[in-house]
A and B are shown apart, each in its own frame.
Chain A
Amino acid sequence: MNVTLRLKILFMVGIITLASLLGCILLIYNARVIGNSLRLETENHIKALIGRNAERIESAMLLMERNADDLATAGEAFFAICKATDQDITEQIKEYLVNNFKKLPRAIGGGLWYEPYVLFDKKRHYGPYVYRENDQVFFTWDLNTTTYDYHNQAWYRLAIPKEWDRAEERPLRIYWTDPYFDEAATKALMITVDALMHDQQGILIGLSTVDFSLEDLKEMVARMTVTPNSLPFAVDLSSGLLISFPADPSKVLRRIDDLDWGKELEQVKNVRPGEVVVNPLSLHGNNFLLFYTVTRTGTALGILAPYEELYAHINELNRSNMYTAFIVIFVQIILYLLIAVFMVRRICNPISKLTDVAQEIAEGDLTGASKSLAIIEHSSPSDKDETGRLLDAFQGMNKNLKALFGQVQRSGTQVASSSTQIAASSRQIEATISEQATSTNQASVSSKQISATASALADTMNEVATAASETADLAGSGQAGLEEMEMSMQGVLDGTESVSARLEEIKENALGIGSIVSTITRVADQTNLLSLNAAIEAEKAGEYGLGFSVVAREIRRLADQTSVAVLDIEDMVNRMEASVSAGATEMDAFSRKVSSAVDKINKTGKQLDGIMERVRTLPPRFETVNEGMEAQSQSAGQISETMNNLNIITQNTLEALREFNLAAEYLREAAQDLQDEVSRFKVS
C-alpha cells in the first residue's frame, strides 16, 4: 500500500491526540473516584453526627425515665410515711420536688399525682407540681382544681386508664405520652414520662411525672445542621408525630405521614437502634438525601439534606475538573493540528515537490527540473532548515549535472569525430600499405630480373674467358690463327658491349629499387606518425582507448621493422650500385683494351707477342669482373629475399590495420552509444 508521509504524520498526530484524550479521560475518572470517596466520607460524617445526637437524646430521655422512676419511689415513701404517722407531709414533698428538679435542668416540670382519696380521705386531688421558668423552679398547686381534674388528663389516663382496677398490675411501669402542648402550667411543648406508684400491697396509688421539653430536643436537633438548607428532624415513633423541626416549627406535632418526605420513613420500624439509614429521594424536582436512625426510646432522628448543596463542593470540583480537561483537550487538539499543518507544509510539501524534481532529473529533463526548482524556491519560505538545504543541494546537483552532461555531450562528440578521423586515417594507411605491397612486388620482380641478368652476365663472362683462353691459345699456336683471333676478338668486343649494356640495365633497375625504397620509407614514416598520434588520442580517450593504444603500439613496431628492413635494402642497393659501377668501369677499360688489341692485330701481327702477353693478363681481370658479378647476383638474391620478408610484414601490417579499423569502429560505436545516452539529458 502506498502511504504518503503526509498520511503518516496525520496518523501519528491522531494517535497522540487520542492518547492525550485518553489521559484526560483517566484524569476525569480519577477525579470522579476521589469525588465518590469524598461523598462517602461526607455521608459517614453525617451518619456519625446523627448517631452521636441520637445517643445524646436517648441518654437524655433515659435520664428522664430514671428520674421519673426515682420520683415514683419517693412518692411511695411519702405515702408510706403519711399512712404510718398520719402527718401532713406536704412541706417535705414540696422541698423534695424543688430540690429534685433543680438538679434536673432538662426537665421543665414534674410532680407526684395520687389517686383520688388514697392519701387523704378528704382530698380528691393531691398533685404537687413544680415547673421551671427562667431557670427558676417554682412550686404550685394550680393543677389541683376540679376544672383541670388531672385524673382525666390524657397524660394521666395513658398510665392509669379510667375504671382500671387498682389492684390489678399495669403492663408497664413507665409510660411516655404523645407530645402535647401544656396549656395548664408551663405553656410549652412537651412529652411527659409517667412512672406508676404502688403501696406495699402492690395496689396502684398514683404516678409521678417528669415533663421533657421539646424545646430542649429542638436545640439538640438543630445542632445537626450540616448545610444551610438541610432539614434536621425528630419524630415520635409511637404517635407518628413530628416532634422537632427547627426549619419550620409550625409543622411540629403534625403527622409525619402528612409530609411528602415523611412517607419515606415507613421503613423506620425495621431499623435497629444505632444504625443510620440513607435514602435518596426526589421532591418537586430536587434531589435530597434522607439520613435517619432510631433511639431505644422510640424517637426517630434524621436530616433531610438537599443533594446539590451537600455535594456542592464535590460537584464543583468535578465540574471544574471536567472543564479543565475539556479546555486542555481542545488546546491540545488545536496545537496538534497546528503541528501537523506545519509539518505537512514545511516537510511533506517540499519533499513531494523535490521528489517530482528528482523524477524529472531521472527522466533526464534537467531544464524542466531547474524550472521546477526555481518555482519551488519562489513559493517556499527561504528558511535554511533541512528542506531549505535539500532544495539548495538539488539546485547545486542539477547545475553540476547540467554542466557535466554538457561536457560529456561535447566530449562524446569529440571522441566520435576523433574515431571517425582515426578510421579515415587507418583506411588511408591501408591504401598506402597496399600501394607499398605493389611496390614491393615490383621491386621483387625487378630484383629477380637483376638476378637473371647477372646470371646471364656471368655466363657471358665465362664465355668471354673461354674466348680469351682460346685467343691466347690461338696466339700461342701462331700467326696463322691471327685472322681467327681477330674474329674471336670481335666476338669478345661484342660480348663486352653486351655486358656493358646489361650493366647499364642493372644500374637502371637499382635506381628503380632506390626510388621504391624511398616510397616505402615515406610510408613507414607516415605509419609511424599516424600510430604515434593514434597512441596520443587513445591516451586522451582514456578507458575507451585501451585496446586501441595496444593496436597503435603494434602498428608502430611494424612500421619500425619496415624502416629497418628498408635501411638494409638501401644499404644493399648502394653496395650493388658500387659493384655495378666498378664492373662497368672495368668493362670500359677492357673494352678499350680489346679495341686497341684488335686494331693492333689488324695493323700488325708483329706485335702478337705483346698481344699475347696482354691477353695473358686478361684472365685475372675477368676474375675480378666475375667476382663482381657473383656478388651482384648474390645481392639481387638477398634483395629478393628481403622483399619477400617485406611482403610478409606488409601483409601483417594490413591485418593489424584491419584490427585497427575494427577497434576504431568499436570506439566510434562506443562514442555513439555515449552520445545517445547523454542526449537523453536536456541541458539547454
Chain B
Amino acid sequence: MLVLLFYLGDVMYTMKCEKVREVAPLVKLKEMPHTPDYFAGLFNYRGVIVPVIDLRTLIQGRPCEMRLSTRIILVDYVRDDNTPYILGLMAERVTEAVKKSEDDFVSPGLSMQEAPYLGGFVMENKEMIQHIDLDLLQNSFKFLPMLEGGNNVPDDD
C-alpha cells in the first residue's frame, strides 16, 4: 500500500494514498470570512471549487509555512447521499510516497475524543509515524456549508 509522507512543523505524518486524487502545488487561496481558522480558503481545481483545510492549524494551531514543498493534497470523498466531492488538505514538505504493508500499521488502542483521526501509527525504521485516518478526518468538518452540496466531482473524461 502506498502512503504519503509529509510534515507539520518538525513532526512527520502519513496518510494512505487510496483516496488521494492528486498532490497540487500551493497556489493563492480565496479566503472566506466567518470560517474556522483551520479553513485556509477555496481553491479552483480544474473548474471544481475545493475547500482547503490547513492541517497544521487543525492539529498544531499554527499555519503552514509558505514554502515550495508546502502543497495541497486533494482527497476524494463521498457524501452520505453517495455523491462524490473533493477536499484539499494543506501540509508541509509533501515530497515522499513510500510502499507500506498492512503489518506496518499499528493501533495503540486508544482514541482521542478531540482528534479521533490521529489514532494510528505507521512503523518506519522502528520509529512511529502518526497516521491520519482520512475517513475519520472527514467527520471533523461536516459543518462546513460548502461540503453539503454543490461540489460535485466531474467525470474524468
A-to-B contact residues, CB < 8 Å: 410, 413-414, 417, 521-522, 525-526, 528-529, 532-533, 535-536, 539, 549, 556, 560
Contact = CB atoms under 8 A, between A and B. Distances in A.
B64 interface: no
Contacts of A521: 68
B156 A417 contact: yes
Contacts of B94: 532
Contacts of A556: 95-97
Interface stretch (B19-27, B107-115, B118-126): B19-27
Interface string B1-40: 0101000000000000100111111000000000000000
Interface string B127-157: 0000000000000000000000000000011
B71 interface: yes
Interface in B51-109: 68-69, 71, 94-97
Contact of B95 (A417, A528, A539): A528
A413 B68 CA distance: 33
A557 to B, nearest CB: 10
A414 B156 contact: yes
Nearest to B157: A413
Nearest to B16: A539
B157 A414 contact: yes
A522 B68 contact: yes
A329 B1 CA distance: 74
B71 A536 contact: no
Given A414-B156, A536-B22, A539-B2, A525 B97 contact: no
A529 B68 CA distance: 10
Contacts of B157: 410, 413-414, 417
B82 to A, nearest CB: 16
A533 B68 contact: no
A525 B25 CA distance: 9
A532 B97 contact: yes
A535 B156 contact: no
A470 B45 CA distance: 73
Contacts of B17: 535-536, 539
Contacts of A526: 25
A529 B27 CA distance: 14
Chief secondary structure at chain A's binding surface:
helix
Nearest to B25: A529
Given A532-B23, A532-B95, A536-B23, A525 B69 contact: yes
B90 to A, nearest CB: 14
A424 to B, nearest CB: 14
Nearest to A539: B2
Interface of B: 2, 4, 17, 20-25, 68-69, 71, 94-97, 156-157
A268 to B, nearest CB: 116
Contacts of B156: 413-414, 417
Contacts of A535: 2, 17, 97
Q: Which of A413, A414, A529, A532 has the most CB of B within 10 A?
A: A532
21 contacts: A414-B156, A414-B157, A417-B157, A521-B68, A525-B25, A529-B23, A529-B24, A532-B4, A532-B94, A532-B95, A532-B96, A532-B97, A536-B17, A536-B21, A536-B22, A539-B2, A539-B17, A549-B2, A556-B96, A556-B97, A560-B95
A535 B97 CA distance: 7
Nearest to B23: A532
Contacts of B71: 529
Contact of B68 (A410, A525, A549): A525
Given A417-B157, A525-B69, A533 B96 contact: no
Contacts of A532: 4, 23, 94-97
Contact of A536 (B25, B69, B97): B97
Contacts of B22: 533, 536
Contacts of B4: 532, 536
A282 B14 CA distance: 119
B132 to A, nearest CB: 16
B95 to A, nearest CB: 5
Contacts of A413: 156-157
Given A525-B68, A525-B69, A529-B71, A536 B20 contact: yes
**Top 8 closest pairs, chain A to chain B, by CB:** A539-B2, A525-B68, A535-B97, A532-B23, A528-B95, A414-B156, A536-B17, A413-B157
A409 to B, nearest CB: 11
A536 B75 CA distance: 12
A532 B91 CA distance: 14
Given A417-B156, A533-B22, 20 more contacts: A414-B157, A417-B157, A525-B25, A526-B25, A528-B69, A528-B95, A529-B23, A529-B71, A532-B94, A532-B95, A532-B96, A532-B97, A533-B23, A535-B2, A535-B17, A535-B97, A539-B17, A549-B2, A556-B96, A560-B95
Nearest to B2: A539
Contacts of A560: 95
Nearest to A526: B25
A410 B23 CA distance: 23
A522 B26 CA distance: 12
A556 to B, nearest CB: 7
Contacts of A529: 23-25, 71
A181 to B, nearest CB: 129
A556 B4 CA distance: 13
Contacts of A533: 22-23
Nearest to B69: A525
A525 B94 CA distance: 10
A74 to B, nearest CB: 142
Nearest to B94: A532
A546 to B, nearest CB: 11
B19 to A, nearest CB: 10
A1 B25 CA distance: 70
A539 B17 CA distance: 8
A535 B20 CA distance: 11
Nearest to A528: B95
Contacts of B96: 532, 556
A522 B17 CA distance: 24
Contacts of B21: 536
Contacts of A417: 156-157
A536 B156 CA distance: 16
A560 B96 CA distance: 10
A539 B24 CA distance: 17
A564 to B, nearest CB: 12
Nearest to A534: B97
A521 to B, nearest CB: 7
Contacts of B2: 535-536, 539, 549
Q: Which of A410, A417, A528 has the most CB of B within 10 A?
A: A528
Nearest to A560: B95
Nearest to B22: A533
A285 B68 CA distance: 130
Nearest to A549: B2
